[in-house]
Amino acid sequence: MDETDQTPAAVPLAFDITGVMAALPHRYPLLLVDRVVELIAGERIHAIKAVSMNEQFFQGHFPGRPIMPGVLQIEALAQAAGVLAVETLGLAGTGKLVYFMAIEEAKFRTPVEPGCLLDLHVVFTQKRARVCKFAGKAMLGDKIATEVSFTAMIADS
């Protein structure tokens, strides 16, 4: 095989919080992705949410035993998927938004507490012009905290 027959390897991207905020419309207190460790357009993303005791939801969930709500863990995975979709489909600056359509097979395995680094791993399972499907896992080290399949649509803002 000569060099002209080889497909170029995907170049992984990484973003700090500024890059995340450029890709997503979310802002505090609902911005749940702090940085992107690795993004391979069209394939997958690994992002991080640093879970702090200063999060507003810990005031009521639960006093004396703070646990990050499962729906917010799914939202963090969805936001990571949003960054993946924006970068893959070239949506930055277009006025398009990525909206949830469906959440399936959500499972909560391990409580997420203040001080945790939540590793968000999301992969495309189906990619179309206006509808994308994803599979996500939120990890605490080598333990699965949350896993979910979900669908999102690309729409005008």
Read off the pLDDT of residues 131-145 as tens digits, 9 standing for 90 and up: 999 999 999 999 999
- Choosing from 26, 46, 61, 121, which is the catalytic residue? 61
Assess whether 26 carries a catalytic annotation: no
Between CA 107 and CA 123 the distance in angstroms is: 17
Architecture field, domain 10-156: Roll (3.10)
Would you state the pLDDT for residue 7? 46
pLDDT tens digits, one per residue of 102-134? 999 999 999 999 999 999 999 999 998 899 999
Between CA 106 and CA 148 the distance in angstroms is: 4
Given strand 44-50, what is the order of strands in its sheet? 13-15, 35-40, 44-50, 117-127, 131-140, 143-156, 96-108
32, 48 Cβ separation under 8 angstroms: no
pTM of the model: 0.92
Q: Which residue has the higher pLDDT, 157 or 82?
A: 82
